[in-house]
Amino acid sequence: MPHPASDKLRRFKRIAGGLAVLAIAIAGVAFYLNREGPDPALAARSRNPGVPVSVADVAKEDVPVILTGLGTVQASLTVSIHSQVDGKLQDVFFTEGQRVRKGDVLAKIDPRLFQAALDQAKAKKAQDVAQLAGYEKDLARFQALAAKGFDTQQNLDQQQAKVETAKALVMADDAAIETAQTNLDYTDIRAPSDGRMGVRLVDPGNTVHAADTGAIAVLVRTQPTFVTFTLPAHTLDAVREAMKKGEVQVTAYDRDNRQQIGVGKLQTVDNRIDQATASYTLKATFANDDEKLWPGQFVNARLLLQTLKQVLVVPNGAVQRGPKGLFAWSVGADNRASPKSIEVALRTESISVVSGGLAEGERVVTDGQYKLQDNAAVSIGAKPEPQDKPAS
């Protein structure tokens, strides 16, 4: 017969087990009732099962073919202003940075000594002219006497020689007067060309000499102005072909290659290639009406070789490189992506010209390709997750 204590223990275990099951059931119901809704991540995945990507349409555009080289702005004329005579710098009539016209008086040398030299040369000529007149009168008398046989031919020849000598002296006086006048004119230092004056380097009161190496100031002409730049040697034939077809446009941009400064035309190509750098030099002319191009400034020169008319283009981000070459992910009407081999004829800063593999209006993936597989569903317009760019 069973022991009473054993029966009580078994009944206790059954009651405890039932209570445990009931507690678990109550906890499950409470958890279910307290849920705010379905899992957001799970719901998002169910609503948006495709790979998030950005796409762009294959379009037709006119694409300029441009060569870019680093260049330097050069003034079309640079003149160091010197005195052509020795003397004290009496006055300076220009201000630093002033625009001047050809012939404007920029400075003045003390003219008194040069005026005196001119007056002396003129007086000397007057003296020699008077002497010549006397000799000519004597010659006329000698000729009259010789004709009547009252004087010798020797005396006549001597008098003729005096007349010729006096004439030579008058001619020398004319040259001396011209020299003195020129030196006097040089005391007015004039602008040899239109341009802009630089910093004054000599102050009034200083003595200047024609042999001085230092200038009073420097005048530059910036309208028009030049830009000299270099390009790789392998582009020479293409540039020469473009020049044969007509005027070649050159656009100057700032050092950051962002802001346009001016538009000009190619003037000349240097007649040799620098073997050390495998490059050659070109010169372009710019009207520079707004004077944004300043002598000595570094610029990026963009030379327009030609413009490709209505060619297929895609953003550079759409072009991928794989084991078999270049390809792009094409998105069909069912929003599924598949890779297509493509041929790229030209690549610019932002777009690539496609010469084969794609058609106008076709959609290509521009961002988010790293998760794509062939025939993968895509979600267009969603922001793709960031991805590391491959090393170039």
* Average confidence (pLDDT) over 191-206: 95
Q: What is the pLDDT of residues 358-370, one digit of tens each?
A: 999 999 999 988 8
Domains in the chain: boundaries: 4-35, 51-58+319-380, 67-76+217-307, 82-208
Q: E strands of the chain, at which residues? A: 51-57, 59-81, 87-92, 99-100, 105-109, 188-190, 195-197, 207-208, 217-232, 249-253, 260-269, 279-286, 298-315, 320-322, 325-331, 336-341, 343-347, 351-356, 363-367, 376-380
Reported residue count of the chain is 392
* Average confidence (pLDDT) over 337-349: 91
CB burial class (10 A; 0-12, 13-18, 19+) of residue 369? buried
Query: CATH 2.40.30.170: does it fit domain 67-76+217-307?
Result: yes
Give the pTM: 0.67
* Residue 14, pLDDT above cutoff 70: no
Largest CA distance in the chain: 203
> Could you tell me what percentage of the chain is helix, strand and coil, using 3-state DSSP and rounding each to the nearest 5?
35, 35, 30
- CATH of 51-58+319-380, picked from 2.40.160.60, 2.40.420.20, 3.40.50.11540, 3.20.20.70, is 2.40.420.20
* Average confidence (pLDDT) over 153-176: 90
CB-based contacts of 97, cutoff 8 Å, min separation 6: 196, 197, 198
Looking at residue 121, its pLDDT comes to 96
Q: What is the pLDDT of residues 58-90, one digit of tens each?
A: 999 999 999 999 999 999 999 999 999 999 999
Q: What is the pLDDT of residues 215-234, one digit of tens each?
A: 999 999 999 999 999 999 99
Band of residue 371 on the pLDDT scale cut at 50, 70, 90: confident
CB-based contacts of 98, cutoff 8 Å, min separation 6: 196, 197
* Average confidence (pLDDT) over 328-345: 92
Looking at residue 33, its pLDDT comes to 47
119-133, 254-268, 347-361, 370-384 — which is least confidently predicted?
Answer: 370-384
* Average confidence (pLDDT) over 154-172: 90
What top-level class would CATH report for the domain 82-208? mainly alpha
